[in-house]
Structure 1
Amino acid sequence: MITVLASVAATGMMATVHADLPDEFAVCKGIVDNGTRLSCFDALTLPSDHAPVAPTSAIDERAASVQPKASTTVRQQPLSGATAFGAESVPKAIVDQPKSLKAKVLGNIRGIRKGLLIQLDNGQQWRSVDDRDYDYEADSPEVTIDRNVIGTYWMAFPNSGIRIRARRIK
């Protein structure tokens, strides 16, 4: 904790934080235009010497009137060095992602082995990354794909007891 605070202090970057931000955020959230909405949020967090964007609608004028009030300051650290290490692999939130997927394989399956490309009727392509080989034959079988707790995808083939690790490639 002390190391983090020390490195945050070393960056010298400042942002203003307010006790009444929830109300101000609600105003910004109501803005339709992306650029103006971003400017509204920037006005809440950037130093007061940062130039504002001119409003283009009544809601935007209301948002432009939201001015940061001086209170406490928090130092922000850029995403670099040890903080950035591995950040590209951090999963991003996806809204309304189903727990599993059922789809039909386009074409015939004549054996399952690592590297097998499987085209589904929904346009997705999956590749087998399982190290095991299976003697399985089927014409356009329906498969179920589930994701486990750690993010591995498993493709199950009907009436066979076969489940393979798979990775979506398209």
Structure 2
Amino acid sequence: MRFILLLCLTVFSLYTNADTADKNTIKTLIECSEITDNKQRLVCFDRQLLQIKNNAKTNNKLVNTSQEELFGKQKPEESAPKSLESHIKGVFKGWVKGKIITLENGQKWKVISQTKGYTKLTNPKVTISKGVLNSYDMRVEGFISKAKVKRVK
């Protein structure tokens, strides 16, 4: 019986992130393990596994995303890229704190530093690299200053 519970919890952890684990689902799995009738216990586990799979399909969209799509949205890992290169969509007129900058790849980054700079560039190349303490620095080709940014989308 403990083996079945362990197996179900392992499967559960494969389909969901630990941060999003539903306490009620774990409680229900424990309750399933306490059922003495084999057929009823199996039905209970199957029902919970189906619910876990359905939740994983709708809530866990980060499983199949590329490293570029994850850049700036997750805690840094050693295997994660050190920087991202793209182009700013449209005309770049510089930055001020709070400005949202949209990249070609659809990502949106907000300027969070006090850095101010003004220019006019069309679709310039941009490099976003990891800074200290999980921050990110944005550099725009043809523009001297850099800014601290935070990914918002």
TM-score (norm 2): 0.52
State the match for 1:146 in structure 2. Answer: 129
Runs of 4+ in 1 over 4 A off after TM superposition: 24-31, 45-49, 91-96
Matches within 5 A, 1:120-159: 120-159=103-142
Deviation, 1:160, is 3.0
Aligned to 1:114: 97
Task: Provide the C-alpha distance between the structure 1 equivalents of 2:101 and 2:34, rounded to a whole number of angstroms.
Answer: 52
CA RMSD across the alignment: 4.1
Could you tell me how far 1:169 is from its partner in structure 2?
Answer: 0.9
**Structure 1: 5+ residue stretches without partners:** 1-17, 36-41, 57-90
SS of equivalent residue, structure 1 residue 136: strand
Q: How far off is 1:103 after superposition?
A: 0.7
Give me the whole-angstrom Cα distance separating, in 1, the residues matched to 2:128 and 2:115. 17
Q: Identical aligned pairs, as a percentage?
A: 22
Residue of structure 1 in register with 2:57 after alignment: none
Change in 2 beyond 3 A, CA 1:99/1:53: farther
Change in CA separation of 1:46 and 1:92 when aligned onto 2, cut-off 3 Å: farther
* Larger Cα-atom Rg: 1
Alignment length (residue pairs):
110
Which residue pairs with 2:55 in the alignment?
none
- Between the aligned partners of 1:135 and 1:156, the Cα distance in structure 2 is 13
Shift of 1:48: 9.8
Letter in 1 for 2:108: Q
Structure 1 counterpart of 2:121, one-letter code: A
Alignment partner, residue 163 of structure 1? 146
**Cα deviation per residue 1:98-126 (whole Å; 9 max; x = unaligned)?**
21100100011123211111110101011
Question: Could you tell me how far apart the structure 2 residues matched to 1:166 and 1:105 are?
Answer: 14
Counterpart-to-counterpart distance in 2, 1:94 and 1:53: 40
CA–CA distance in 1 between the matches of 2:133 and 2:42? 43
More helix by share: 2
**How far is 1:25 from its partner?**
6.8
Structure 2 counterpart of 1:73 = none
Match of 1:50 in 2: 34
State the shift of 1:148 in Å.
2.1
1:15-50 deviation digits (Å, cap 9, x = unpaired): xxx9xx9xx97898689x959xxxxxx7xx959963
Q: What pairs up with 1:7-156 in 2 under 5 angstroms? A: 50-51=34-35, 52-54=41-43, 97-156=80-139
